[in-house]
Chain A
Amino acid sequence: MPSVVPGSVIVPNWHRCAESKEFFSKILHKRKRRKFGLLEAPVLPPHMNVDIVRYKIFISGKSGVGKTALAARLAGHDIPTMHYETTGIETTVVFWPVRLRESGRVLFFRFQLWDCGENALRRFDHMLPSCKEQVDAILFLFSFTDHASFEDLSNQMARITEPTDRIVKLVVGTKFDLFIHTDVTESEVNRFQEVWGVPVFCMGGDVAGGLGEVAPLLNSLAENLWHQDCTAAGSVPPPTQTEPGDATTEIMV
């Protein structure tokens, strides 16, 4: 399924709007991200009339590419500086509020990120099926410092998905901050996006930027997942035109 034009389904950059404050405050605690156990969710007063929608996201990519680091980044946890192999499946829950463009309705997305160490995936047969069970989206990772990982993207996508799967697919390039060692050029990335019709996000560096740094990826996930569900339910909203000049490429550092 072709990906949605960014900003056509949800309000883009909503986290910067003043009116989103009361919603984002539910996922923050002392200027950091609030931690939620499985029995918890953001506490929303009934008058806000906000629904929580749940999705399962699988993070795929070879060992050391930065899957565990990405999950930590998106959840606002401390990013591991060392590479310790993940020896099984680890999931991380991320809540993210979004305002729908058409109806003005606010939704809380609950993304559960599934991160499985590549070596564990190879050693134990049950891991991949488990990660793919009822999965809604897959993030395919490559590293800007490893050209082979970029070349392998198409294989990777073919290996774990079928063309008929109803799964949102996004590509994330990690270690974009290590631009000095960059192995993958911008034009290569642009070409990939054109050929595959899959948006590519660039990640890396300190999380000092707070929400702004993760917003484009989380918003895109929300937007594509919501669109996918609406399509399935047969209620595709007419595609709204975004402001001209909105690039499909979203580069953030």
Chain B
Amino acid sequence: MLQAETIQILCLTATSGVPLFSRGSSKQLPFSVIGSLNGVHMFGAGQNTTLSSCETDRGGRVMWRVFQESLMLIAVSGNSATSELQLRRLLENTWNCMVLVLGLEELGNLRNVERLKRELRACFRLIDRLLGQDDHEGMMGELTQCADCLLTPQPTLLQEALDAFTQAASSEFGCLLVRGRVAAATEKWWRLAPQEVVLLSALVRSLSGMSSCDYPIYLPHGSPTVAHRLLRFQLLPGVDVCVLCGPSPSLHQVESELVGCFWSPLTETLRRCLEQGERCLPPTVNLHRSTLALLLINRETRRSVSVCAPPRASPSPPDTAVPLLSASKCWELLRLFYVFAVTRYFSMEESSSTPALVDPPLQEDFSQGFSHSPVHCYLVTDECKCYGLQTPQHQLYLLMDLTVPTFALRSIATQTLSTVTMAMGF
């Protein structure tokens, strides 16, 4: 149906199957195929069953999802390596983008389909970014639904500045992002739904070239029918601060009266955060030297840090049998291992606040056959060794290079978990 690498998203009206948009592949699916995809779902509904996903014999995968009983989203992947979890997240994120930009009322207004079609175009930038692979590098939030964070050496300094700035802007919701990762956020910001925190970070990343923005947004969970204003200021290229406001103050006001006064004194601190680069941990935290990548999730706060530390192409003897993995390869492997572990062994953090979104579990029968839940798992491939570890508060996903003996993985993982959590109080 589709080329192997591409994923396509279709949106139709749920009751009558009128196509509203399709994004993703440059080659659109033929109308007849779209019709059949919709038809087979309708057929199921007629039999009182919900068709949620299927695999095609030529290695494709399709997932259906109806939102608000009004709109249907279908994700079609030409590649069975795309996991169900990824497609499910994609559908959720796409829907949340649509609500974020247009609000629930607009989306529920199906009386004028042509108008809705026009309005939906406003969501394309964000949806295309969800589908594109380029800017995801190192961003795990869209998959984990936990906010990608950056742990800085001086968190209190930034936190205080952010709290004060947010308050001065007559808001309680403020967030500081460094290279798209949350470096500090106000208490209220953390009380937004995790999906919202992730989505807002993605929105800010998509605006990276701009100096400042004033975007009307709806919060998919917190405020789906009343728009707020997201004010975002690029303090340095790669460092953004944003606040969620009501009708006032104006963008001009906040920028001219508050931005310089609150943030100029911290310019050097912010620059140092930038220098941390891809590494989301302060330089004082030492990881095992064979670490390729890691993802640490705090299950309570729904925050995560991820690090990619592939070995530099060093002048060391090239006779080592270990092939060098690129950073983007490491990220990809980390993502695959996360999906592997979380769908098979570990539990996934789902927000219970949205009953509409409860889906059949993705767990395979394996874990359902046991009364206990696994707390460790590992996987050895010909590219790397992976170790997963789960405690009531954390999940750690660790990628090591092949030189590490398999029996050592467990102790390294345990050690890594305590190093990072102790040092950072994460």
Q: Do A87 and B122 touch (CB < 8 A)?
A: yes
Query: A117 CA to B207 CA in the complex, in Å?
Result: 14
Q: Do B214 and A130 touch (CB < 8 A)?
A: yes
Assuming the A-B contacts A39-B260, A134-B252, are A123 and B209 also in contact, with contact meaning beta carbons closer than 8 angstroms in the complex? no
* Minimum Cβ distance to chain B for residue A63 (Å): 9
Q: Do B215 and A38 touch (CB < 8 A)?
A: no
Dominant SS among interface residues on chain A: loop
Assuming the A-B contacts A38-B212, A38-B233, are A89 and B251 also in contact, with contact meaning beta carbons closer than 8 angstroms in the complex? yes
Query: A37 CA to B207 CA in the complex, in Å?
Result: 13
* Minimum Cβ distance to chain A for residue B130 (Å): 13
B253: nearest residue on chain A (CB-CB)? A133
Q: Do A92 and B211 touch (CB < 8 A)?
A: yes
Which residue of the partner chain, among A91, A112, A123, A124, contacts B213 with CB atoms under 8 Å? A91
Q: B189 near A: Cβ within 8 Å?
A: no
Q: Do A89 and B214 touch (CB < 8 A)?
A: yes
* Minimum Cβ distance to chain B for residue A233 (Å): 21
Chain B neighbourhood of A205, CB < 8 A? none
Chain B neighbourhood of A75, CB < 8 A? 209
Q: How many residues of B contact A (CB 8 A)?
A: 36
* Minimum Cβ distance to chain B for residue A216 (Å): 23
Report, as a range, how many residues of chain A touch the other chain: 20 to 34
* Minimum Cβ distance to chain A for residue B98 (Å): 12
Query: A3 CA to B119 CA in the complex, in Å?
Result: 39
Which residue of the partner chain, among A93, A119, A130, contacts B250 with CB atoms under 8 Å? A130
Which residue of the partner chain, among B209, B213, B214, contacts A77 with CB atoms under 8 Å? B209
Query: A170 CA to B125 CA in the complex, in Å?
Result: 30
Which residue of the partner chain, among B216, B239, B252, contacts A56 with CB atoms under 8 Å? B252
Which residue of the partner chain, among A39, A91, A119, contacts B251 with CB atoms under 8 Å? A91
Assuming the A-B contacts A90-B207, A133-B252, are A35 and B122 also in contact, with contact meaning beta carbons closer than 8 angstroms in the complex? no
**22 A-B interface contacts by CB (under 8 A):** A35-B209, A35-B237, A37-B239, A38-B234, A38-B255, A38-B260, A39-B260, A75-B209, A88-B213, A88-B215, A89-B215, A89-B251, A90-B207, A91-B210, A91-B213, A112-B211, A119-B119, A120-B122, A124-B216, A126-B247, A127-B214, A134-B252
Closest 8 CB pairs of A and B: A88-B215, A37-B236, A84-B125, A89-B214, A93-B211, A35-B237, A90-B210, A91-B212
